[in-house]
Amino acid sequence: MAANPEKLRLARTISRKEIVLSVARVPGSSRVIFGGSDGTVYDLDLAGAKSEAMTLGSHQSYVTGVALAGTTVVSGGYDGRLIWWDLSQRRQLRAIAAHRKWIRAVLASRDGQMIASVADDMVCRLWDAASGKLLRELRGGHQEMTPHHFLSMLYACALSPDAKYIATGDKVGHAVIWEVATGKPVVALEVPELYTWDPVQRRHSIGGLRALAFSPDGQSLAVGGIGKIGNIDHLDGKARVEVFDWRKGARTHEFVSDNFKGLVERLVFHPQGGWLLGVGGANDGFLLFFDLKTKKIIRQEKAVAHLHDAVLNEGGDTLYAAGHQQLAIFDMKG
């Protein structure tokens, strides 16, 4: 049966003590790997009614990225380390001091041969998944300071389906698409609506480009975050997503939620590319479905908690979401 956002229902929740910040799924199974605010990486099989998470190991602080490359899990976090874990034996293979600041995201190429990481040192690094060897370093595309002289952050990255290109996005709404083979920047995109600067009340900035995703055909790049914010002490800007024909540098879609405020923290295209999903939140969480053909928001659903990450199964009809003190599984079988 085809995946249908109109049929979305919450199938199951698993309560957690920590804030779950990152999640990956083992293909062809009901197993998920996740990490969060307690610094631990977990392996959980959801097949049973009473699923118990097994510990793979720990970072020194928040785990904000997990990726699966074959039978190996690679995790990254606030401590700047990337750690390789053997999933079958649940043991650590290697740990690397990969970045000098907070690792915000970790990705694996579809073939499982390459790992990408981005961090607040404003660098993207590409790694050989099997050996942990550094393959390439992408730097110079993002400034370490915002235009108002505050430290910037490199929040997000996305690999094209063929792994020939990687996109990176920062706090001021600046995105760069790089050629993986050469490490050279190809296109830069500006999304200024995702960045707010308050020069009066707080002299502080907030927002940023928090989510990136390539379409299944690799032609489009979706970016997400939060729109302009009135009170920067709260996430009171509207959830916002834009889609670009990145090779032309042209915006093709603009979606602004009329129901939800907060950060779009993860973007996921349906495997056939018909719709795009954004998850995130402020005090509460949300799921937003965008129809790329009609250029309309086709569903806006409240979640019981702020959602930080999400992944679809192969058919695109089951969603696994990581949130504040919970994992949530949504069914969309039409």
What would the pLDDT profile of 94-117 be if each residue is shown by its tens digit? 999 999 999 999 999 999 999 999
What pLDDT is attached to residue 205?
A: 73
Question: How is residue 284 annotated by DSSP?
Answer: S
Separation of alpha carbons 268 and 49, rounded Å: 27
Identity at 207, one-letter amino acid code: G
**Per-residue pLDDT reduced to its tens digit, 233-251:** 777 899 999 999 999 999 9
Separation of alpha carbons 227 and 235, rounded Å: 9
**Per-residue pLDDT reduced to its tens digit, 31-74:** 999 999 999 999 999 987 777 899 999 999 999 999 999 999 99
pLDDT above 80 (res 1) = no
Separation of alpha carbons 204 and 31, rounded Å: 41
Reported CATH class of domain 5-331: mainly beta
**Per-residue pLDDT reduced to its tens digit, 247-266:** 999 999 999 999 999 999 99
Backbone angles phi, psi at 5, to 5 degrees: -55, -25
Separation of alpha carbons 159 and 212, rounded Å: 9
SS3 5: helix
Q: Name 54's bridge partners.
A: 43
Separation of alpha carbons 167 and 247, rounded Å: 12
Separation of alpha carbons 283 and 262, rounded Å: 8
322, two tokens: 């990581």
Give every CB contact of residue 72 below 8 A, 6+ residues apart in sequence.
Answer: 84, 85, 86, 87, 93, 112, 129, 130
Q: Please, what is the Cα angle at 144 between 81 and 104, to 5 degrees?
A: 35
**Per-residue pLDDT reduced to its tens digit, 166-223:** 999 999 999 999 999 999 999 999 999 999 988 777 667 788 999 999 999 999 999 9
pLDDT above 60 (res 304) = yes
| Sheet (strand 63-69) strand order | 63-69, 72-77, 81-86, 91-97
